[in-house]
Amino acid sequence: MKTLLAATLLLLAGPLPAAAQAAPDPADWDGVLREARGQTVYWNAWGGSSQVNEHIEWAAREVHERFGVTVEHVKLADTADAVSRVIAEKAAGQDQDGAVDLVWINGENFAAMKEQDLLFGPWAEALPNWRYVDVEGKPAVTADFTVPTEGLEAPWGMAQVVFYYDTARVEDPPRTFGGILDWAKANPGRFTYPQPPDFLGSTFLKQALIGLAPDPSVLSGPVGEANYEKVTAPLWAFMEELTPVLWRSGRAYPQSGPRQVQLMADGEIDMAISFNPNEASAAIANSELPETVRTFVLDGGTIGNASFLAIPYNASAKAGAMVVANFLMSPEAQARKQDPTRWGNGTVLALDKLSPEDRARFDALELGVATLSPEELGATLPEPHPSWMVRLEEDWVARFGVAE
């Protein structure tokens, strides 16, 4: 699907009509608020988590009450579905009144849309709440998988790869990929990861590649500039040994991160990957995981990135979309999202930029028994260039792909 998407984008390259570029100016925020009132924002966002869906429902209620903007959550299984919709509209000459107003996006989808001028902007860095964003301490908020955002998307969450495990069955979890392989061989069927191209499953491949590649620095550039076979040979050798000792002997995979939580709760697996350092604590707080579950990271650091919101070039409700994105970057919304009893997703804000009242929202949070401190989380590693994710997914499907 993503290979076809990339090819289609190349065919659609070209300048946009001036009418399609006309939009409210985020520097005139009062004007944006006036135009946004009464608009309906169709927000295309992943719908595979009850915690995520509840947060979006809460935000929708708040922006409707405060700003008169209606939010409709278009629940996606794959962000590429929303991108394909924008592509189809451009191909049909629909440069205004598009069906997608706001999209939760990053990685290869953002890179492709940016390359082919399918995004409105720049706008994000002119939002009122941008002044609170931790640009200095969290460089991922302005570089999406190494691609500069240049104000075309607004960050609304931080993520870092962690692993969680049940201490009732695992005493000392492995902290290298060699250790993961040894542990899996000694405990067959007790580990798995979501099936690529699920984002979390693809992240497992990227994390393994970073941990096993002879020179991980080559991953910061496009895949075509490296010797792909040489760089990935250790990864595929590792996967060949790991797959037969996975859950269900690698003949089936969980379809998402929440499905992994269910498998651990049911006692089918003992260890899993997450892109949310607070996920285990949030699941414990919501009685989805036993209180014996804890979190760990790998030696040498793990991948970290930001989640973003973007507005397609032909969105019908650009002003409303900016109002929604600005609210989601507010200290109130960010603190609520970081609460592990709700979602537990990390903030994009710099706490030292906040007022004492807003800082207190974060200081009051109890992050939970399974959440690591910033010191324990350790180094955050940059995402590879988005082209690596596309190629790894294609190769994994060709080598190990299954349909459950």
CATH number at residue 243: 3.40.190.10
Q: Does 37 lie in the same domain as 110?
A: yes
Name the domain count of the chain. 2
Amino acid (1-letter code) at residue 13: A
How high is the pLDDT of residue 3? 39
Q: Are 312 and 292 in a shared domain?
A: no
**Single-letter amino acid code for the residue at 210:** I
* DSSP letter string, 8-63: HHHHT-SPPPHHHH----TTSHHHHHHHHTT-EEEEEEE---HHHHHHHHHHHHHH
**Model pTM?**
0.80
Q: Please indicate, yes or no, if residue 371 is contained in any of the structural domains.
A: no
- Cα(395)–Cα(103) distance, rounded to whole angstroms? 27
Specify if 337 maps to a domain.
yes
44-81 pLDDT, tens per residue?
Answer: 999 988 889 999 999 999 999 999 999 999 999 889 99
Asked whether the predicted pLDDT for residue 234 surpasses 80, the reply is yes
Report the pLDDT averaged over residues 277-283.
91
Note whether 296 and 340 are same-domain residues. Answer: no
Give bridge partners of residue 75 from the DSSP assignment: 45
Q: What is the domain extent for residue 289?
A: 162-304+381-400
Q: pLDDT grade, residue 146 (50/70/90)?
A: confident
**Banded pLDDT at 403 (limits 50, 70, 90):** low
Q: Is residue 373 part of a domain?
A: no
> What per-residue confidence (pLDDT) applies to 310?
98
Residue 114 pLDDT grade (very low, low, confident, very high; cuts 50, 70, 90)? very high
What pLDDT digit, counting tens, does each position of 328-342 carry? 999 999 999 998 788
Residue 352 placed within a domain: yes
* Percentages (nearest 5) of helix, strand, coil residues in the chain: 45, 15, 35
Confidence of residue 82 (pLDDT cuts 50, 70, 90): very high
**Claim to verify: residue 173 and residue 149 sit in the same structural domain:** no
> In the predicted model, what is the mean pLDDT of the chain?
91
Same domain, 283 and 336: no
